[in-house]
Amino acid sequence: MAAGGEMAAKIIDGKAIARDIRAELKAEVEALKAKGVIPGLAVILVGDDPASQTYVRNKEKACKEIGLYSEVHRLPASTSQAELLSLVEELNAKDDIHGILVQLPLPDHIDGDAVLNAIKPEKDVDGFHPVNMGKLAVGERGFVPCTPNGIIELLDRSGVEIKGKHAVVVGRSNIVGKPVSLLLLARHATVTICHSRTPDLGYHTRQADILVVAVGRPEMVTGDMVKEGAVVIDVGVNRVGKKLVGDVEFSSAAERASMITPVPGGVGPMTITMLLKNTVEAVR
């Protein structure tokens, strides 16, 4: 118990939760292998963006750790859209590939939506295909985008009740804000979605029992914008000098929140873990 202005919030340890889930997945993969199936993930990386290269390497490593088959197709930045589409078609047809992921961003001369839409929805482990987004919106089972799925897992595994709570989501991107809002709604939260045209953001965030921030602006949500006892999920990853900081000012928010995710070590480790989970589920 903290007293006198010290940090009161419990820290949600995304690394530890991700480790638990990966151990469960490893057991599932072993069971599948015993039946003669090895879940396979194909990753396509176009160009040589250093951040994307790191993400892809981390994905490869994570697959290996739990025994998934993975292959990475590294293509030059000059790859044409037609070449990329034909690779996607080839992978769509392969029986030993259960999941296909195209690392974003793609070079400017390629129409990213056209490429994502070419992935078979049954192999779309990133959950970005409009068919999977549509299923999420109408409440059918499909692939759910990894970061939003990871956020729900963090809440569940931290014992946070979602039903009946007021969840406020800051950010409405297709990758995070929008899908996490739909997931919270499906779990019977009352959901408010804020974005760059929301006047008086603090008015809304101060109502949140569960506050999810996915904006991409270092420490924009400060402690005075957090309701006493709220659960705060900070999705932001911002490089400030040599440090990584979230979209939430951790020290002041932790004084008011009951639980909070750190950056790094909160939402981040969950994203790849949910990709592994979707790939294992793709076998079914």
C-alpha 12/C-alpha 20 separation (Å) is 14
Q: Do you find a cis peptide bond into 264, omega within 30 degrees of 0?
A: yes
Catalytic residue among 59, 123, 165, 277: 59
Contact 118, 242 (CB under 8 A): no
Residues that bind ligand NDP (CB under 6 A): 147, 170-173, 175-177, 194-198, 201, 214-217, 235-238, 267-268, 271
Closer residue to ligand NDP (CB): 104 or 283? 104
Name which of 254 and 275 has its Cβ closer to ligand NDP. 275
Minimum CB–partner distance for residue 196 and ligand NDP (Å) = 3
CA distance 108 to 99: 25
Classify residue 143 by its DSSP letter: P
59 is catalytic: yes
- Shortest approach of ligand NDP to residue 272 CB, angstroms? 8
- Torsion of Cα atoms, 240 then 243 then 246 then 248, to 10°: -80
Of 124, 126, 234, 247, which is the active-site residue?
A: 126
Nearest-approach distance from CB 132 to ligand NDP, in angstroms: 17
Distances (CA, A) of 199 to 104, 194, 218, 238: 31, 9, 19, 24
- Whether 103 is catalytic: yes
Q: Establish whether 95 is a catalytic residue.
A: no
- Closest CB to ligand NDP among residues 18, 97: 18
Please give the residue whose beta carbon sits closest to ligand NDP in the complex.
173
Give 91 or 125: the residue with its C-beta nearer to ligand NDP.
125
Distance CA 254, CA 261 (A): 9
User: Would you please indicate which residues are annotated as catalytic (active-site) residues?
Assistant: 59, 103, 126
